[in-house]
A and B are shown apart, each in its own frame.
Chain A
């Protein structure tokens, strides 16, 4: 929603009648209407839909604000609890290392190294070198609706506990190319290009 409370919708073409479905919306402003644009930043006049939309009262606005505040605090408390459990599961040594580096590295039973970050896909590191910094690909599997650190706990446990859970995780997760694939370059072969040297 924009600050004015307008909802963007697409579809339809000039001269036709469009149908817009508005779901899960809360109107927070006193002015409510529906704008139709032709995509060229010129707006048509207000269109009446035939529906009466009553702006919220100040009491309803205040109740909504308090509800959102409570949800935010509940979410933050849950994340703090989850981070404490994450620290408990991986141990003090690895937690300090995670805080320094910004990611938690796990070695699976298959020998594959995985990097976990809160709210991000699981990075699978290249296997040809022990300390490779190159991401081969990424897996995405999470616990929807749960704190980010709970997802990290889940990923850590499944990838490190046994071969069976590691394979189960891989079968559930969606596989992606690394989003930083443009940075996965071999410095030795790319150096001439990086330095601007002429290419024969």
Chain B
């Protein structure tokens, strides 16, 4: 199920929607754009997470950085980290 999981103090807050329903997709897109304005970074994650355990090669099933809203994707939104 497509969703946007936003990392926060509660762990994460997840917004899900039905991609066949226009109203819900519109609401999700608005939420995505609101997070974009709050300087969040978005990654689309694969349906099964990372598939390969071979770490010496780049695994294309790893999360992908996205800048546009994808109504069918599972997205993780995170704020920009700060140096520690």
CB nearest to B61 among chain A residues = A91
Do A162 and B65 touch across chains, with their CB atoms under 8 A apart?
A: yes
> Is B1 an interface residue, CB under 8 A from the partner?
no
> Is A107 an interface residue, CB under 8 A from the partner?
yes
Measured CB to CB, the closest approach of chain A to B14, in angstroms, equals 9
Interface size class of B (residues with CB under 8 A): 20 to 34
Contact residues of B between 66 and 84, Cβ < 8 Å to A: 76, 78-84
Contact residues of A between 107 and 144, Cβ < 8 Å to B: 107, 109, 111, 113, 121, 130, 140-144
Measured CB to CB, the closest approach of chain B to A120, in angstroms, equals 10
CB nearest to B11 among chain A residues = A81
Do A89 and B49 touch across chains, with their CB atoms under 8 A apart?
A: yes
Q: In the assembly, what is the distance between CA of A70 and CA of B76, in Å?
A: 27
> Is A158 an interface residue, CB under 8 A from the partner?
yes
Contact residues of A between 92 and 115, Cβ < 8 Å to B: 92-94, 97, 105-107, 109, 111, 113
Question: Within the complex, which residue of B8, B10, B56, B81 is in contact with A141, where a contact is CB–CB below 8 Å?
Answer: B81
Q: In the assembly, what is the distance between CA of A82 and CA of B14, in Å?
A: 12
Do A140 and B50 touch across chains, with their CB atoms under 8 A apart?
A: no
Most buried by B among A107, A109, A169: A107
Most buried by A among B9, B76, B84: B84
Chain B residues whose CB sits within 8 angstroms of the CB of A91 once the complex forms: 46, 48-51
Tell me the interface secondary structure of chain A in the complex. helix
Contact residues of A between 74 and 88, Cβ < 8 Å to B: 74, 77-82, 84-85, 87-88
Question: Within the complex, which residue of B5, B58, B82 is in contact with A109, where a contact is CB–CB below 8 Å?
Answer: B58
| Complex interface bits, B14-54 against A, C-beta within 8 A gives 1, otherwise 0 | 00000000000000000000000000010101101111010
Do B45 and A140 touch across chains, with their CB atoms under 8 A apart?
A: no
Binding site for A on B (CB under 8 A): 5, 7-12, 41, 43, 45-46, 48-51, 53, 55-59, 62-65, 76, 78-84
20 extra interchain contacts, Cβ-Cβ under 8 A, other than A78-B11, A146-B7, A150-B12? A78-B9, A82-B11, A84-B11, A85-B7, A92-B48, A92-B49, A93-B50, A105-B55, A107-B56, A111-B58, A150-B11, A150-B78, A153-B78, A155-B81, A160-B59, A160-B62, A161-B64, A172-B81, A172-B82, A172-B83
